[in-house]
Amino acid sequence: MVTNNGVKSMRLTKLVYNDVLEMAKILVGLILKRRTRADPIQEMNQQMRDLFSWLCQGNSSSVLSRVISSYTPTIKALSHARQKALIFSHNKTTKTLLVAMDETPGQARLSTAAESAEIAMAIEGLGTTQIMNMPTPSAVLQCIDSCEIVHCICHGVSDHNNPSKSHLILQPDAAGENQEADGKLSVLSISNTNSARSQLAFLSACSTAENPPTGLVDEVIHVASAFQLAGFSHVIGTM
């Protein structure tokens, strides 16, 4: 457990090796199913929740009863994030960027209106909100640097062969204008940005925290980690 004073360990006296081995096999099976989309995504998510709930069963002194779980690709990234003060809670100059893609070629239509309305209500009175409907990658990249909060409602893709090419699907830029002409806001382009104001990125898109290549399992290369590398202290992604 990482605390302000250092790293602490906790004994799990009821943890049995054979139980861990069995759960590890189930976890590997679920990961393989997710890659091949063998079962509906809702069913796989429920199976994953059931698996992780095992960590808390029958133990009132588990790690999860003492800590707040948070995602970070590395301890260094966590340390960097904690150096930035959380300013948007009471700051009336906070700027929020809302990226919405109702229509995406080759993908299911998204009902972004309801989610956008809920966000607007949640942050009412908290600075200004810029809504970008059907934006291009270059337009989003230009605005990220000046925003504390970024909320993306769109489709996401995890590249199984080259995770640095994983991306959010936006509106294509003009042909030949730049490397994002295909409409892909990629891990590489996001991580190359650097914003001193960035605080929170909420990625309401599939596969933004998915890292499929088994050979790169320790690298943590996906869209969520790209936003952290760009300077966002807090990032919420999905599997």
Chain segment 10-27, per-residue pLDDT in tens: 777 777 888 888 888 887
Assess contact for 164 and 187: CB atoms under 8 A: yes
> Residue 212's pLDDT band (boundaries 50, 70, 90)?
low
State the Cα torsion 115-39-164-104 to the nearest 10°. Answer: -40
Task: List domains and CATH numbers for the chain.
Answer: 2-69 (no CATH), 82-236 (3.40.50)
What is the pTM (predicted TM-score) of this model? 0.72
In this prediction, residue 214 carries a pLDDT of 63
CA distance 223 to 22: 31
**Given pLDDT bands bounded at 50, 70 and 90, which one contains residue 211?**
confident
Q: Which residue has the higher pLDDT, 61 or 51?
A: 51
Per-residue confidence (pLDDT) for residue 62, from 0 to 100 = 58
Top pLDDT among 39 and 228 is at 228
Q: How far apart are CA 110 and CA 113, in angstroms?
A: 9
Give the C-alpha separation, 228 to 201, whole Å: 9
Mean model confidence pLDDT for the chain: 79
